Amino acid sequence: MSGLLALLDDVAGIAKIAAASIDDVAAQALKAGSKAAGAVIDDTAVTPKYVQGFDASRELPIIWRIARGSIINKLVILLPVGLALSAFAPFLIPPLLMLGGAYLCFEGAEKIAHWLLGHHDEHTQAYESGDPAQLEEDKIKGAIKTDFILSAEIMTIALAAIPESGFWMEASTLALVAVGITVAVYGSVALIVKADDVGLAMARGRLIATRALGRGIVQAMPKVMKTLTIVGTAAMLWVGGSIIIHSVKDIGWSAPYALIHDFAVAVAARVPEGLYGFVGWFATALADGVFGVAVGLALIPVVSKVIAPAWKAVVGK
């Protein structure tokens, strides 16, 4: 009996350790995932455009296939690569973060330039004539390729945010981030895409209240999409600028970080103590965003005149 009680006590101890480890993984995953907010919001804002022009019955199957491709991108390709970098080449993480941050800044600045110049994003083109099945396949492949870039940013940002820990802790945290963000992004996309259909169904209902609510949903969705795009662009510029500033600080150049920090402290010092934290954060985010806009605008001619032609010469497209 004493041996059995000792065994049960050991099992209880192991269970407590396992529970604590699960809590640690969940906490680290939440913290790491929050660092990737810009890329996540951009992913959510971009994906609904891939189902525009298709029959309503094909919207959810298309989103499911893109989500499945996103999971494969994160778990099968990017997770092992991220763990290998962490184990064997951690010095490459800051440059990769800077590259991802520069991409976010470029994407955000390019959207601003398109809005100012009246251009339209390539994904908003009207439904093309031809084989719908082939067009669907092309759209899904394009979406998964775009997702790969955004997923690489998300996983790299999350990896950099994880405190130094063991292999399995990092692997578990990254896997949880990958699954959690994919479910959040594509679950939100599915709700956004089908909201107008639900609104239309409610608008045809019998009850006056549900009909009014349905009409309100249908009328609100274009504004919701526009707001999501604006928020996504702002988040890209803020997070992209922040990533670059923190990365250059990590490799030894702290002047931009110190300048923005001093600016935020000076602004926050002018407000009541209760607002100090929020105002300091907002001033930092604003400065990071302005820096992101500057970087993105500087990259637009570089990408259009140098990188894009070189890429076309390599891939032949």
Distance, in Å, from the CA atom of 177 to the CA atom of 183, rounded to the nearest integer, reads 10
- The predicted pLDDT at position 299 comes to 94
Task: Determine the distance from the C-alpha atom of residue 51 to the mean position of all C-alpha atoms in its chain, rounded to a whole number.
Answer: 19
Q: What is the dihedral of CA 183, 97, 112, 50, to 10 degrees?
A: -30
pLDDT (tens digit, 0 to 9) for every residue of the chain, 317 residues total? 454 445 445 444 444 443 444 455 555 555 545 555 555 665 666 666 667 667 777 888 888 998 999 899 989 998 999 888 888 888 888 888 888 889 889 988 998 988 888 755 444 444 445 577 788 888 888 788 877 877 887 787 777 777 777 778 788 888 888 888 888 888 888 888 888 778 888 888 777 888 888 888 888 888 887 887 788 788 888 888 988 998 898 888 889 999 999 999 999 998 888 888 889 989 998 999 999 999 999 999 998 888 888 877 886 65
Distance, in Å, from the CA atom of 254 to the CA atom of 251, rounded to the nearest integer, reads 8
- The predicted pLDDT at position 289 comes to 92
Reading the block at residue 311, the tokens are 């890429």
Q: Which of 252, 199, 250 is nearest to 223 (CA)?
A: 199
- The predicted pLDDT at position 39 comes to 59
* DSSP structure string for 129-174: SS-HHHHHHHHHHHHHHHHHHHHHHHHHHHHHHSPS--HHHHHHHH
Main-chain phi, psi angles of 162, to 5 degrees: -80, 125
Task: Determine the distance from the C-alpha atom of residue 315 to the mean position of all C-alpha atoms in its chain, rounded to a whole number.
Answer: 27
Q: Which of 206, 291, 208, 277 is nearest to 249 (CA)?
A: 291
- The predicted pLDDT at position 17 comes to 42
- The predicted pLDDT at position 123 comes to 43
Contact (Cβ atoms closer than 8 angstroms) between residue 96 and residue 153: no
Residue 307: count of CB within 10 angstroms of its CB = 12
Quote the DSSP letter at residue 270: T
Distance, in Å, from the CA atom of 93 to the CA atom of 99, rounded to the nearest integer, reads 10
Question: Which helix (H) or strand (E) is 166 found in, with range?
Answer: none
> Per-residue b/e over 268-294, b at no fewer than 16 CB within 10 Å?
beeeeeeeeeebbeebbbbbbbebbbe
Reading the block at residue 290, the tokens are 């302005």
